[in-house]
Amino acid sequence: MDFALTDEQQLVRETARAFAEREIAPRARENARRAHFDTELVAKIAAQGYLGAIVPREYGGPGLGYTTYGLIVEEIGRADSAMRTVVSVQTSLVCSAILRWGTEEQKRAYLPKLCSGEWLGCFGLTEPDTGSDAANQKTRARRDGDRWIINGSKMWISMGNHADVALVFAQTDPDKRHRGVACFLVDTAQDGFQPTEIHGKMGLHASDTAAISLVDVEATEMLGEVGDGFKVAMTALDSGRFSVASGCVGICQGCVDESVRYATEREQFGRPIAAFQLVQSMLAEMKVKTDAARMLTWRAGWMKDQGLPNTTETSIAKLYATEAAQWCANTAIQVHGGAGYVDDHPVERWFRDVRVTTLYEGTSQIQQLIIGRSLTGINALVPS
């Protein structure tokens, strides 16, 4: 693996950084304070081609590889994790699932509208009583002629209040467990699709998060066949974990940059606090964790671009990058002292926003089980 970026990748990275600094970062604090999902900013992100970045040109995307996509997500994640969530859900969960499992007709019908931002999508997997046990879907789907009728509920669904199309996972035959799960393409405009905004979150205040009630919701299309739903979810989560890891690399880098800036400007006892050994120790450890997280994430992206099996490597990247970002955000506040405890500095927001990254797209403990399975050959996850 060559760690040198191509000229194109460097240009994409610089362009994404400039865009994030110009358009996203200046709005981040106020959007978080107001708990405002900034649809105007989402439209600007879409206009840059950052929604569906991995989608081929023939389906309306820019056709970028995962490594290049990761560079974009890193820069957006550094500016605002709430907007990074939009990119991750739209691209890694929704678009990647349609690209991998959709028919040619479905790809041409859905992907151009998702890539352009004309439509937003959401990924309806998690339920009030079903998190890590993704096969244990309580939502039910029954066939009625040429359509399916879906009833149930979903929880913690990013963009659920704004989505035009939802990927809804439902059980068609409880006796079959994961072999009975299907993934339906659901039009959210129907009356039975009832999202409710979730309030009181610790972080990601500017991100839209919904609880969704499904009452006799109709669907005529699914990704793959009945029984493929669990596989659809797992492949989408593989892509989602990569984007979360990339965004966390951005948070790590932001913590380094802001902490170095603050430590060299802030004086105590007549000298910059950067002159104190223990402060330098914190800065050094942040830098090491940032570089390690980036290299692990780039490795996963490179393997995806090569078409190599990468589930374990993606889980390693997600596990390390999310835990590292949490550590870096906490340490950055320590470097800032009392100033880091208010949102005058972005480290306060990063600290709140990063906490959820060790939970969604598979908790850190789930990532450890995936890695453990690859080492031992003993499967603790997939139901029998």
Tell how strand 267-268 and strand 271-272 pair up. antiparallel
**How far lies 353's CA from each of 81, 285, 357, in Å?**
7, 21, 8
Which residue in 75, 313, 348, 361 is the catalytic one? Answer: 361
SS (H, E, C) 36-62: CCCHHHHHHHHHCCCCCCCCCHHHCCC
Residues 320/296, Cβ–Cβ less than 8 Å: yes
Separation of alpha carbons 321 and 131, rounded Å = 21
Rg of the Cα atoms in the chain: 21
State yes or no: is 361 an active-site residue.
yes
Tell how strand 140-144 and strand 147-158 pair up. antiparallel
Please provide the DSSP assignment of 179-196 as one string. GGEEEEEEETTSTTEEEE
Instruction: Calculate the dihedral angle through the C-alpha atoms of 355, 358, 362, 364, rounding to the nearest 10 degrees.
Output: -150
**How far lies 68's CA from each of 16, 85, 129, 254, 283, in Å?**
11, 17, 36, 19, 27
Secondary element (H or E) of residue 360: none
Q: Would you mind telling me the total number of residues written for the chain in this entry?
A: 384
Separation of alpha carbons 97 and 88, rounded Å = 12
Tell how strand 193-197 and strand 209-219 pair up. antiparallel
Separation of alpha carbons 97 and 103, rounded Å = 11
SS (H, E, C) 305-324: HHCCCCHHHHHHHHHHHHHH
Tell how strand 165-171 and strand 121-124 pair up. parallel
**DSSP class of 130:** B
**DSSP class of 164:** S
What positions carry a catalytic annotation? 361
